[in-house]
Each structure stands twice: as structure tokens, then as C-alpha cells.
Amino acid sequence: MDREQQELQFLGFFGIFKHSFKIVFSWRKIFSQITLTLILPLSFVFLFHFQVSHLLFHKVIEDQHDLNRHSNTTTSREKLSHMVSADWAGFWLFKAAYLTVFLILSLLSTAAVVYTIACIYTAKQITFKKVMSVVPRVWKRLVITFIWSFAVALVYNLVAVGVFVLWAVALGFSPIGITIFVVLLILYIAGFLYIKIVWNLASVVSVLEDIYGWKAMVKSRCLIKGKLRVSIGLFIVIGLCYGVIQVVFENFVVFGVAPSLAIWLVIGLICFLFLLKVMLLELVIQTVLYFVCKSYHHESIDMSALSDHLEVFLGNYVPLRAKNVQLEECHV
């Protein structure tokens, strides 16, 4: 890369966006291959689940409405009750299947993009075949990190539910209660966003350093200090992009607001193509953010050691020690 390591620490919000775009356009061939192989099906699954979820949920509502209308007929009521139960079971099974497939493709895409950018930084020869051979090995580390992140998010949400229940019992919708509710809601959203940022950076740490799982999350939390506002800004913008895509797709495609079939197809295609770009850009940004945070904390990124670390994923044994992979300014 033509940008010196020490200069990365000065990259801010716009600098990281610019640098990320530069990486993608400079290596468009390899990123196009990754996009077509992993991110394209990921985007399709993401949008497809909105359409199917709407159809399944609409069927649940219709059958529930029929059940309410036949409340006086025992036979019809039992039959419709079974139908409603089956509808709900199908709806939640689809949701579970979607989340599983989405998670698998998401982690595979993360592994591919992070490894590719690391090879670019270390000036290693990179091919699509090499990336795809590495992805399954890196993916296992990312799964462990995800499990820890999910556990943290689960505990956080359980505590949040407890706090909101206490709020409802103690204050309710009184004037002061509403004010406190707004404050609690803002704090909850901020905390959840922080967990997501830590998890995203921990995913990069899991690939580029010799740690993963809980240790990767601790290291991620350490690295994010000093660049938290920039990180929040980046992920808010990415989140808004996802939000716009979802709103447009649901209103014009899922709910059929588009005035004609041609417009319906065009809007659906635009959302799909825009989503491809956003997903790729998000993965590139979180990897660049890792190097920016490392530089900001004056952690020397030994490109030779990092190169050796990447070779391990190819099956080439290189004796590694944690202290040789990265200079541990932030102790895990």
C-alpha cells in the first residue's frame, strides 16, 4: 500500500471511507470475485427473507382472522387452530433457517475480505483460489468469536429487559416516567451499537492475530478507545444505508406499492445492487478501521510476522508466538 503505517492513525471519518474505496477500486478483480461468490448470495438471502416473511406472516394473520370468525363452531375452530399453530411454526422455522444461512455467509464473507486486505497490506500474492482455500480455516475462529459476542449481547438484552420492567412497574407512562424511558432507550441503543462495533472489530482481530473468542473481544474493546466516535459515525452511516434499502425494498417490492411490474423489477434490482456495495464496503471499512486503531495506539504492525501468520491458514507451518504476531500495546 502506498500509505505509510504511521499515517493511518490520522485517518478520520472521511479518510477511512476514501481509503476503503481506494482499496476496492485498486483491487476490483479479487473483490468482484468475492462479491459474486459470497456477498451476492448473502444479499439475495437478506432481501428474499423480507418477501417470504411477509407472505408467511400474512397467512398467519388471515388464518387467525378466520379462527376468530368461527369461534362458535367447535370443529372449524379446532381445524383453524391447528392451521394457525402450523403457520407460526413455519414462520419461526423459516426465521431460524434464514438466520443460520445469513450467519454462515456473513462470516465466510468477513473471512474472505479481511484475509484479502491483509494480503494486500503485506504485499502477498493474492488469488481468488487462495482466498477460498483459507476461508474455511478462518471461519472456525470467527464462529467462536461470534458465540462470545452473541452471549454478551444476550446478557445485555436480558439486563435491559429487567431495567425496562422495573421502569414500567415503578414509573409507567407518567411525565417523568416518559422522560426516563427516552433516556433509557437512548442508552440501550448506544450500548447495543457499542457491542456491534466491538464484535465487528473482534472479527478482524480473530483473523489477523493469534487470538479469538473472548480475548479478541477484549482486544477489540482496547483498540477502539480513541477512535470510538469515528467508529460510531462509520457504523451509523452503514446502518442508515441498510435502513434505506430495507424501507424502499419493503414498501415498493414486498408490499407491492410500485405502480407497474417494470418499476417493481427496477426498484428491486437497484436495492439488490446497492446492498452488494454496502455489504462489501462495510467489511472493508471494519478491516481498515482495525489498522487505523492499531496505528493510533502506536502498535507496530510487523508486516513480516503478519505475513507468516497468514501463511498458517494456507497449511504452511510457521512457528508463531503471540508477541511476534503483533506488538501488544493493549494487553489481553
Inside any domain, residue 150: yes
**Residue 70 confidence (pLDDT):** 62
Cα(211)–Cα(202) distance, rounded to whole angstroms?
Answer: 9
The answer as to whether 283 is a domain residue is yes
Q: What nine digits make up the cell of 109?
A: 464473507
pTM: 0.83
List, in order, residues 6 or more apart from 69 with CB less than 8 Å away. none
Residue 315 covered by a domain: no
Cβ-defined contacts of 249-256 (< 8 Å, 24+): 249/47, 249/50, 250/50, 250/54, 253/47, 253/51, 254/50, 254/51, 254/54, 255/54
Task: Please state the domain count of the chain.
Answer: 1
What's the pLDDT score for residue 316? 53
pLDDT of the residue at 131: 85
Q: What's the pLDDT score for residue 179? A: 87
Is 19 a member of any domain? Answer: yes
pLDDT at 2: 41
**C-beta of residue 264 within 8 angstroms of C-beta of residue 252:** yes
Residue range of the domain that includes 115: 8-68+80-300
- Residue 259 covered by a domain: yes
Phi-psi sector, 200: left (phi>0), alpha (psi -120 to 50), beta: alpha
In this prediction, residue 303 carries a pLDDT of: 61
Q: What is the pLDDT at residue 67?
A: 65
Position 242 in a domain: yes
What pLDDT is recorded for position 210? 83
The predicted structure's pLDDT at residue 328: 44
- Per-residue pLDDT of the chain (332 residues), as tens digits, is 444 566 777 788 898 999 999 999 989 899 999 999 999 999 999 999 888 888 888 777 776 676 666 655 555 667 767 777 777 888 889 889 999 999 999 999 998 999 888 888 887 788 888 888 888 888 888 999 999 999 999 999 999 999 988 888 887 777 888 888 889 999 999 999 999 999 999 999 988 888 888 999 999 998 898 788 899 999 999 999 999 999 999 888 888 766 777 888 888 899 999 999 999 999 999 999 998 888 887 776 656 666 666 666 666 544 444 444 444 444 44
Residue 307 domain flag = no
Does 319 fall in a domain? no
Of 112, 120, 129, the closest CA to residue 22 belongs to: 120
Q: How many CA atoms lie within 13 A of 261 on its CB side?
A: 0
CA angle 294, 20, 331 (to 5 degrees): 15
Position 141 scores a pLDDT of 87
In 3D space, the residue among 107, 134, 120, 108 whose CA is nearest the CA of residue 23 turns out to be 120
Rounded Cα–Cα distance for residues 83 and 93 (Å): 15
pLDDT at residue 297, rounded to an integer: 79
For the chain, the straight-line distance linking the first and the last C-alpha, in angstroms and rounded, comes to 29
Q: Please report the DSSP string for 182-218 in residue order.
A: HHHHHHHHHHHHHHHHHHHHHHHHHHHSS--THHHHH
